[in-house]
Amino acid sequence: MKIVSIVNHKGGVGKTTFTGCLGQALGLSGYRVLLIDNDGQHNLSSLVGTGICSPNLRDVYKAGDNEAAATFLKSVRKTGIGNVHIVTSSSGLSEGDVKDISYMQRCLAACGLGRFYDFVLIDNAPGLGMLQMAAVHASNEIFVPTELRQFAVDGLAEMEKILKETYPSAPPITRIIPNFYRATKRQNTFIAALHRLFPGRVTQTAIPMDSVFDELVTEGKTLFLHRLYSKGAAYYLKIMHELFDLDERKVWETMLEKRRKRMSDEARERYFARREEARANRERQESP
């Protein structure tokens, strides 16, 4: 089992979108995935459609060592994709809820999550405080989505320095994923700068700017079921291949099959609903 924290101290760089879409892509490819929403904004809980549930991660932090694992397991909820589960957040979740940065690590270990999941993905609030550190300490890897702007690129080197100096036992930043990519000369300069600063750690695939990501939130859709033919979905499949060495073509076929099944299930449900409605109408007209 791999535990990955998605972190960037900068806000609005695509951490939640990346965590949600990557988790759903892994789930649709047959892996068992647990998402953890470690952000009081609870955007990930909204993205996967569960919203805030009770108990949730805040209750886990408050439970104390003896009750942490039991509360965590009680907090796990199913999402719309079969083998993707989530521990949701709560709007009150904040730095003050974390007393000890090793707490989540002890909790996840006590849960024995390896029996149930192949991947645990933790979405983090912007910043680098106690909340993020608790997640990072529990993780084997750190993925950092980033936008392609001067301050964002400069900020990453700073962020790595803070992580190393303040929390020497934290895992290293394993992958940096350029997001909001537009094929302009300026953006390519930032990509080249990232490769220079973090050799071997920047993904070759950059996630393109695509309005489909906003639609997912506003329309409650799943990228790979409702928008499989979008640019965004195609690039996510490439990213998965790079990050986890998954066969792009096989993943595509599996998703296509799941999408086909879902569409035919929905069409069947619509057909029976219409037939039932027509029958009820007929009965109403025939009754004296």
Binding stretches for Mg ion (CB under 5 A): 15-16, 43
Residue 175: in which H helix or E strand, if any? Answer: strand 173-178
CA 212 to centroid of chain Cα atoms = 16
Which neighbouring-strand residues pair with 208?
Answer: 181
Is the CB of 12 or the CB of 82 nearer to ligand ATP?
Answer: 12
Choosing from 3, 4, 13, 163, the residue that interacts with ligand ATP (CB under 6 A) is 13
Residues 273 and 78: their CA atoms lie apart, in Å, by 26
266 contributes a contact to ligand ATP by CB under 6 A: no
Region near ligand ATP per CB under 6 A, out of 63-71, 88-96, 167-175, 203-211 = 203-211
Is the CB of 13 or the CB of 63 nearer to ligand ATP?
Answer: 13
Binding mask 102-131 for ligand ATP (x = CB under 6 A): -----------------------xx-----
37 contributes a contact to ligand ATP by CB under 6 A: no
> Is there a contact between 178 and 203 (Cβ–Cβ < 8 Å)?
yes
237 contributes a contact to ligand ATP by CB under 6 A: no
**Site size for ligand ATP, by CB under 6 A?**
20
CA dihedral sign of residues 69, 70, 75, 80? positive
191 contributes a contact to ligand ATP by CB under 6 A: no
End-to-end distance of the chain based on CA atoms, in angstroms? 66
Residue facing Mg ion at closest CB distance: 16
To ligand ATP, the closest distance from the beta carbon of 148 in angstroms equals 11
230 contributes a contact to ligand ATP by CB under 6 A: no
Question: Within positions 147 to 166, which residues make up the interface with ligand ATP, using CB under 6 A?
Answer: none
> Is there a contact between 208 and 232 (Cβ–Cβ < 8 Å)?
yes
220 contributes a contact to ligand ATP by CB under 6 A: no
The residue behind tokens 């991660």 is: 57
> Is there a contact between 35 and 119 (Cβ–Cβ < 8 Å)?
no
The residue behind tokens 């079921």 is: 225
Residue 192 tokens read as: 């080249």
Q: Name the H helices within the chain.
A: 15-28, 43-47, 57-63, 65-75, 103-111, 130-138, 150-166, 185-197, 212-219, 223-226, 231-244, 248-286
Say which entry of Mg ion, ligand ATP, none residue 213 contacts (CB below 5 to 8 A, set by partner kind).
ligand ATP
Is the CB of 41 or the CB of 254 nearer to ligand ATP?
Answer: 41
Helices 248-286 and 231-244, axial angle in degrees (round to 10): 140
Q: What are φ and ψ of residue 102, in 5° steps? A: -95, 0
To Mg ion, the closest distance from the beta carbon of 286 in angstroms equals 56
213 contributes a contact to ligand ATP by CB under 6 A: yes
12 contributes a contact to ligand ATP by CB under 6 A: yes
15 contributes a contact to ligand ATP by CB under 6 A: yes
17 contributes a contact to ligand ATP by CB under 6 A: yes
- Interface contacts to ligand ATP, rule CB under 6 A: 11-17, 39, 41, 43, 125-126, 179-180, 207, 209-210, 213-214, 217
